[in-house]
Amino acid sequence: MILDSIKNEVKTYPAYLTGEWQASNSQETIAIKSPWKHEVIGNVQAVTQSEVDESIEAAKAAQHSWAKLSLGDRGQYLNRWADELEKTKDDIATSVMNEVGKNFNSAEGEVQRTIDLIRYTVQEALHMHGESVRGDGFPGGSKDKLGIIERVPLGVVLAISPFNYPVNLAASKIAPALMAGNAVIFKPATQGSISGIKMIQALDRAGFPKGILSLVTGHGSEIGDYLTENPDINMISFTGSTKTGEHLSQKSIMTPLVLELGGKDPAIVCEDADLNITANNIIKGAYSYSGQRCTAVKRVLVADKVADKLVARLKTQVENLSVGSPVNDSTIVPLIDDKAANFVQGLIDDALAKGATLVTGNKRDGNLLQPTLLDNVTEDMDIAWVEPFGPVLPIIRVHSVDQAVEIANKSRFGLQASVFTQDIDKALEIAGAVEVGTVQVNGRPQRGPDNFPFLGVKASGMGTQGVHNSILSMSREKLTVINLKP
């Protein structure tokens, strides 16, 4: 159902509350502006607190019978959802492109990855099983106690996703939550909610029971705390900035929380690195989707001896990156909004004022920033520590591996790190020393494949995602003890 605005062709999208597509009683909508078309591409509902309450009530009611279904039956619903997504893949990808400015190939890749993730989640859940334990393993225990350990759902899961992967990072919460037997309240990023709505239209067409998922659109600053503090939310799975994640963790007292937050992923380049492999990975890692990725390479820590050679290679490649519109499949696209572009520009200006060398870039047209490479970045510059979420890469020259590790670990973030070396012993030594969730040896940081665990430490997150781990975090153990020969 689409409520067409009378004034122009811009569509007003309903929210999906308690299994019905409806306009909010608030009678307020939020205009979604395309970051590259620079025009309003749709309006979404500003859902009210009482509608949030109704959605949670409906979710609680629907969850009981949902959890009683067999895993196989729940899996059939999810597979139908994947089928429906497949049928509308291009339309959803176009929405992603228009709404968050990702080039079409990447947007289509995101939707395909989501379809694959849903189907994989079904298979993973079907193959997970509980365990049993006898009491005689503990001193004084008895073989006559048999513990049966099963996993049971938590209840209602709140899924909050960020703008940069509006489909995939939503489905990677929704699919495991549903397979584990939970109901879901889905709060998409406001910029990204049209893509989220289209994804849920596909879920609706798959015929899920009413109320098992509600989609509440509205600014996080207005309904976010209300959702997070709600006592009937039994688990929160959040991906977004560290600032919002920290805020959530203060609000969500005693509610299990998984947080995937910001990063400042270093690429540590040793003297013996293959510089072609290194440069290719750094360029793709740092600049794809204008660097608006949690696992983008956000600093390079390079050994002095090879720094000149690496910078020369990077410069050539940066200058060859395509810049412009996402419809032309550009790598460098306009940032999500002017505020984001101003923020990145501020970091570049600060670094240059403090003596960084501009290798290339630092040109701007509104929210479209040319890819920028900064050399001789030092620890007094903000760009050495802050996540820019834009197309700028700082090079920090180091005199030893120890210094690289020290600077890597001084960061408050700990998402991923890359190590480029041809010496596997050195790679493993560095991998052991850096305080991050994942180390990539001779490859760029990245989330996935989605069967891998994905986690950040320090200010980069709490808990682990990846399909298997998400199912675990959205369920809990339940122990039943059979007392034999009582």
Q: Give the footprint of ligand NAP on this chain (CB under 6 A).
A: 160-164, 169, 187, 189-190, 219-221, 224-225, 228, 239-241, 244, 247-248, 260-263, 294, 387, 389, 415, 456, 461
| Shortest Cβ 413–ligand NAP spacing (Å) | 9
Q: Residue 161 or residue 234: which is nearer to ligand NAP going by CB?
A: 161
Question: Which residue among 150, 260, 387, 406 is the active-site one?
Answer: 260
Residue pair 468/455 in contact (Cβ under 8 Å)? The answer is: no
Strand order in the sheet with 156-160: 20-22, 15-17, 213-215, 183-187, 156-160, 235-239, 257-260, 461-462
CB 238, min distance to ligand NAP, A: 7
Any idea which residue has 């408050």 for tokens? 412
* Cis before 166 (ω within 30): no
Nearer to ligand NAP, 154 or 386 (CB): 386
* Shortest distance in whole angstroms from residue 344 CB to ligand NAP: 13
As measured in angstroms, the least distance from the Cβ of 25 to ligand NAP is 19
* Residue 359 φ/ψ, nearest 5 degrees: -80, -45
- Helix axis angle for 71-87 and 104-127, nearest 10°, is 170
Least Å distance, CB 113 to ligand NAP, is: 13
User: Least distance in Å: CB of 422 to ligand NAP?
Assistant: 29
Return d(Cα 351, Cα 308) in angstroms, integer.
Answer: 19
* Identity at 195, one-letter amino acid code: S
Tokens 């963790």 belong to which residue?
249
Rank residues 228 and 372 by Cβ distance to ligand NAP and give the closer one.
228
Residue pair 174/161 in contact (Cβ under 8 Å)? The answer is no
Instruction: Kindly report the three-state secondary structure assignment for every residue of 358-395.
Output: EEECCCEECCEECCEEEECCCCCCHHHCCCCCCCEEEE
Question: Considering beta carbons, is residue 119 or 298 the nearer one to ligand NAP?
Answer: 298
Residue 271, SS3?
coil
**Cβ at position 322, least distance to ligand NAP in Å:** 23
Contact present, 336 and 100 (Cβ < 8 Å): yes
Taking the least distance from each CB to ligand NAP, the nearer of 158 and 268 is 158
The DSSP 8-state label assigned to residue 222 in this structure reads I
Q: What is the DSSP letter of 322?
A: -
Structure tokens, 372: 């920028």
Cα separation, 29 vs 190, whole angstroms: 11
Q: For residues 437 and 456, give the distance between their C-alpha atoms in angstroms, rounded to a whole number.
A: 5
The answer to whether 387 and 264 have CB atoms below 8 angstroms apart is yes
Minimal distance in Å, beta carbon 291 to ligand NAP? 10
Q: How far is residue 201's CA from residue 198's CA, in Å, rounded to a whole number?
A: 5
Q: Nearest Cα to 326, choosing from 292, 285, 361, 364?
A: 292
Task: Output 151 or 458, the one with its CB closest to ligand NAP.
Answer: 458
Distance CA 219, CA 324 (A): 29
Helix (H, G, I), strand (E, B) or coil at 17: strand
- State yes or no: is 260 an active-site residue: yes
In the complex, what is the shortest distance from the CB of residue 247 to ligand NAP, in angstroms, rounded to a whole number?
5
Please give the sequence-ordered ranges of beta strands (E in DSSP) within 248-398, or none if there are none. 257-260, 265-269, 297-303, 357-360, 364-365, 368-369, 372-375, 392-398
Question: Which residues are marked as active site?
Answer: 260
